Structure 1
Amino acid sequence: MHAVTGGTRTMRDAAADVRTPVPSLLTRVRLATSVEDPPWTRGAARRSPAGCERPSLWNTSALMSCLLLAVGHGPVPGASHDLPPRFLDREFGRHGVTRFEDIDFPRTLTHEPTRRFLRETGLPEDAHPFRLDTDDLPLPTLSEYCEDHPEHPAPPGADHLARLGRLADGAHVVVDGTTGAVLTWRVPAGTLHPLVADISALALTLWALRRAAQLETVAGLELT
């Protein structure tokens, strides 16, 4: 195929017509974890760097697995796609993931996909750079949080924002109770900024960051 002028389709136009469908979330999870825990990694921390030979194919596959789940995720903002059961438990430990009950949700958290995700999948409690406020249950609205911290004036719409925790830089992480979108709230400016499309995107991001950090530690890669 070659490119011609006069309004005829070019090679680039033809290539644009070939649209590869994005795999389902479950398919991407299976692909992303298919290279998990190869035999050479067991006990790698006990071996010196000189004695730890790492297959380049596994390096590449494991690194790509950290990015795979983000590709095409969240085409519908606030959709909160389901993850396989115990997906986060496997990475963060059974006692490192908090699942919520309906009693833990503020009245204004009405977005059902978000409620279901927090009930069935949950969120990791301590997953750098995010830390869940497990001592602050039931989840407060941002208005309620600001009532307890009067030095921080509540932003507009704070009644419909449920506070989840904080990032390492001090920003508060909140979820919009109506749309399911996840935002950051920064004080003292009091500004809201989009973070990720939904609660499942937050969980997947924390999962990928943790795996990337483990890959760097175990395999000695320098990620930039």
Structure 2
Amino acid sequence: MGTQAVGELTTLTGRFAHLQGRFGGPVVEEASALLRSVLTDEIWGEDGWGDVEWEGEMPSFWRTAALIRPLALVAAPGRGLRLDLPADFIEEEFGAEGVVRLSPGDLPDALEHEPTRRFLVEVGLPRDGLLFGAEAREDILNSMTAVCAERMENPALRHLGIAGTLPEDSDHLLLIGGLMHDFDTVVDGRTGLVHYTLIDDDTVTPVNADVSTLAFTVWMHSRQRKLEEEYELTGDMGEFYHQVADTMVAVLATADPVACLPATGPDDYRYWPEVFHDEAGGVL
């Protein structure tokens, strides 16, 4: 029964049909409250708790679903980008000093993708979002070619033997920030696709469909951390860690299928699913 309720939330059918076409923070809260009420008021059958109303503490699995699943409703589908995020989206979560916005004059000609240009001017990116941080204004949107050339002037990097190899289209790959684990984050100036890479690697790997879903991912992680402090979703001993990670990945997949593409081989590292499931790293 709980599975049916979560399915109805995911598809916005049944008891959640009235939420179709509605988005934003208040809708997230409404959906969460409704799912919690459905789960706590449910009559459990033979495979649950018997023919009595559940009056005790909500089981961890359903509490996680009720608090995390509705986060997908924070943003409507976008025009040119996957998500339509309001101008104050980053500020509300990270504060006025926690957002990096650019002026139109800061945008290089190599950033041809107009929706990405608008997003970086109007919404911006988190300056320090725990797992992602935007580059300083003076460095952001430099090409991989320029960044690698500058870094190769660093004697420490030369001493390490880093060759500074680059993808063939490195002039079109523009630095926007960095991920935990020393990955650079670059946006393809032609398409808006966001990749991660290493400075001495000649390959890039998709990490998000675009800057809107990158911002959403960082926001969702921040929200989960705050919910964790209040509700201890992962459990006292981390016994529920992986079910929280599974739920995070499921929500992200609805907003950004690119971020959760199946790995194509043992060396194909899909950043967000891997990081969310990194219990030893404790990012959740």
TM superposition score normalised by structure 1: 0.70
User: What is the CA-CA distance between 1:65 and the residue it aligns to?
Assistant: 2.9
Q: Which residue of the partner structure matches residue 106 of structure 2?
A: 104
Q: In the alignment, is the contact (CA less than 8 A) between 1:73 and 1:201 conserved in 2?
A: no
User: What is the CA-CA distance between 1:35 and the residue it aligns to?
Assistant: 7.4
- How many pairs does the alignment contain? 186
Q: Which residue of the partner structure matches residue 170 of structure 2?
A: 158
Q: Which residue of the partner structure matches residue 31 of structure 1?
A: 27
Q: Which residue of the partner structure matches residue 200 of structure 2?
A: 188
Confirm or deny that 1:66 pairs with 2:78.
no
TM superposition score normalised by structure 2: 0.57
1:23/1:145 CA distance change after superposition, 3 Å: farther
1:149/1:213 CA distance change after superposition, 3 Å: same
Please show how residues 50-129 of structure 1 align to structure 2 within 5 Å. Answer: 56=58, 60-68=65-73, 79-129=81-131
Deviation per residue, 1:163-205 (Å, 9 max, x gap): 0111111111000000000011124333200111111000000
Q: In the alignment, is the contact (CA less than 8 A) between 1:183 and 1:192 conserved in 2?
A: yes
Q: Which residue of the partner structure matches residue 209 of structure 1?
A: 221
Q: In the alignment, is the contact (CA less than 8 A) between 1:80 and 1:117 conserved in 2?
A: no
Choose which of 127, 135, 141 in structure 2 pairs with 1:133: 135
Confirm or deny that 1:167 pairs with 2:171.
no
Amino acid at match of 1:61: A
Structure 2 CA distance for aligned equivalents of residues 119 and 202 of structure 1:
15
Q: In the alignment, is the contact (CA less than 8 A) between 1:103 and 1:138 conserved in 2?
A: no
Q: In the alignment, is the contact (CA less than 8 A) between 2:101 and 2:121 conserved in 1?
A: yes
Q: In the alignment, is the contact (CA less than 8 A) between 1:142 and 1:154 conserved in 2?
A: yes
Structure 2 CA distance for aligned equivalents of residues 173 and 69 of structure 1:
24
Structure 2 CA distance for aligned equivalents of residues 206 and 34 of structure 1:
22
Structure 2 CA distance for aligned equivalents of residues 174 and 127 of structure 1:
16
Structure 2 CA distance for aligned equivalents of residues 214 and 173 of structure 1:
25
Gaps of 5+ in 1: 1-17, 37-54
Q: In the alignment, is the contact (CA less than 8 A) between 1:106 and 1:141 conserved in 2?
A: no
Amino acid at match of 1:144: A
The runs of 4+ residues in structure 1 deviating greater than 4 Å are 18-24, 33-36, 55-60, 67-70
Q: Which residue of the partner structure matches residue 8 of structure 1?
A: none
Deviation per residue, 1:122-176 (Å, 9 max, x gap): 0000012111111543521111111102342222101111101111111110000
Identity %: 32
1:187/1:126 CA distance change after superposition, 3 Å: same
User: What is the CA-CA distance between 1:121 and the residue it aligns to?
Assistant: 0.4
Q: In the alignment, is the contact (CA less than 8 A) between 2:148 and 2:199 conserved in 1?
A: no
Gaps of 5+ in 2: 1-10, 33-56, 153-162, 235-240, 243-284
Computed over aligned residues only, the root mean square deviation of the Cα atoms, in angstroms, reads 3.2
* SS at structure 2 position matched to 1:194: strand
Amino acid at match of 1:27: F
Q: In the alignment, is the contact (CA less than 8 A) between 1:104 and 1:137 conserved in 2?
A: no
1:144/1:33 CA distance change after superposition, 3 Å: farther
User: What is the CA-CA distance between 1:103 and the residue it aligns to?
Assistant: 2.2
User: What is the CA-CA distance between 1:98 and the residue it aligns to?
Assistant: 1.0
Amino acid at match of 1:124: P
1:23/1:98 CA distance change after superposition, 3 Å: farther
Structure 2 CA distance for aligned equivalents of residues 91 and 34 of structure 1:
19
Structure 2 CA distance for aligned equivalents of residues 146 and 23 of structure 1:
46
